[in-house]
Structure 1
Amino acid sequence: MPDTKRVTSADVARLAGVSRATVSYVLNDTPRQTISAGTRTRVLDAAARLGYSPSAAARTLRTGRSDVVLCLLPDWPIGPEVGSLLGNLSAALTRHGLTLVVHPGSRGERPVAELWKAITPAAVISYTEFTDAEAAAMRSAGVAVVVAVPRRGRGRELAVPQELVGRRQAEHLVAAGHTRLGYAYPDDQRVRFFAEPRLAGVRAACAARRLPTPVGLTVPLDPSAAADCVRRWQSTEVTAVCAYNDEVALAVLAGARTAGLSVPGDLAVIGVDDIPPARLAAPPLTTVTTDQAVVGAHLAATVVAAMSGRSAPELPAADIVRVVPRDSA
């Protein structure tokens, strides 16, 4: 049976021939300590040889705070866009000396209190709202609470306004001369969090220009079912469709081919997210993209501000949501 004993600072001190205090000073880069370059090198070499890593729990006791940021996600499908956000957020938090831990899934699977108490994070980011009691319990324990929701409410709001994404779609199609729009709604109820405000943005853009209300249809990721939707749009004189995201837009493209229509000649299509297959579609898919590197950096800066009691910075949403024009619209 393999030896699973944890390597300690005492093991590093023994191999380097120094005291445990010296190991602590070197590995924690403690200021105002006169340690020679040779001793420092011996300690670092010994730690590397043994594969030593300081205990997170001990570091928390020593510094008085954790370096973990817990991100609570609802039961979302983790697609390319959410994955990109989490990757950029993790990198941005690392630059602040913080470590991201993500917990996806329904709250019914495990109570919020069990999660944050098990991890004792410095901050919690949530894409759903907390109850007053949940938020108060975390703040009483010194945990910064950051709520990232795209609607007006309690807490710090960080998410890109999804209405803006929908408006960008509609504005692009209207600028191309389309006056009768459709909206391709996803058949996955888990993403209503994003889909409903995007549809609201499309509707608002049409209302502002006194155009008919968009014809919304739920489009499955199936060519035959998508073709039925395309025919229904055609029967109502829809000439352009805003899709919830690129996957749904690709389904609309497949439905148009199945129905014998050309894109964009008979039906223009615009998606959201700019996933890699969007560039490979036939025709290449026009889409709306959000700069997730900026979003991740902004979210990390907001977490740091919350931890220090400062106001959150403003997200330049209008500057980071843009249309990527291609041949489908």
Structure 2
Amino acid sequence: MTKAKETSREPADQSAGWVTFDPNLKILDCTVRDGGLCNNHQFEDGFFKRVYDTCVAGGIDYMEVGYKADKKLFAGTGCGPWKYTDEEDLRREVGDNDSEMKLSVMADTGRTNPADILPKSESVIDLIRVATYIHQIPAALKIVKDAKQKGYEVALNLMAVSTVPDYELDNGLEVISSVEEIDFLYVVDSFGSLYYEQIGDLIERYKKTGKTLGIHAHNNQQLAYANTIYAAITGVKLLDTTMMGMGRGAGNCPTELMVGFLKNPKFNIRPILKFVQDTMHPLSQKIDWGYSIPYMITGHYNEHPRSAIALRDSDRKDDYLGFYDEIAAI
């Protein structure tokens, strides 16, 4: 009887272990970039370096170090240095990045001047991630091709696709499929409104482009981790996370959760847990991010979380019912 039980259990154990061990699955930690949206990138001195050291020690594959924002558009806005990610600021923290971890930066279409992106030979950055809405794809592709010509890996992040009609998304994906300069294509749940069935449908449609896929999930409905796991199981290779889930509004898939899920021995959860304990938990007492009812409500209604962010920053931050009535009436 005992032997029969062991035999019947073996295939399931092997299957689960293989899914989580897949050596091609990579983590991209975007604590500094997405987390910077919580405080206008005004982190205390030493925060960036502690994130960097933790990612290196934890075996993280990519760390996103900030934005490449056009200083003419964001002049005088009180942003911290990682809104712009100048090379001198970056090298002051990481030197020549003498590690196996790659560094990425986000370039928002319409908010980035390609002239601010140096040739790869002059930069410690490895990956340029171009964020675009569906109607901006032609402008985004100019940044993509410029970055690729300069020697970078390039990703395209399609934003707010939960609001895009199917025919329009399919047309956009058809254009993207013919652009050789795109190394990675991201499924992005901008409003944290998508369920795994919808994530799965998007993944299957994105796969037709022939690109390696990534996922960036928001946690409005407490589904960022589940949707990221589902994406990994169904063939997505780049998994976005942040330490303790820090990110705009409801935040993101927590790095510590994903490292715990992936059984690849290259990852080491201990330095990540120490960083979360020593730095992120105290920071969470000062800055508001993560799941809360207002973010759940905007997620349910497939709305940008800006109204929930404004509520959480007001003197009626916990007026859940009043906020619900306001959103439901829109």
Q: Which has the higher contact order (CA 8 A, sep 6+)?
A: 2
Flag the structure with larger Rg. 1
Q: Judge same fold: TM > 0.5, yes or no.
A: no
TM-score of the two chains, using structure 1 as the length reference = 0.26
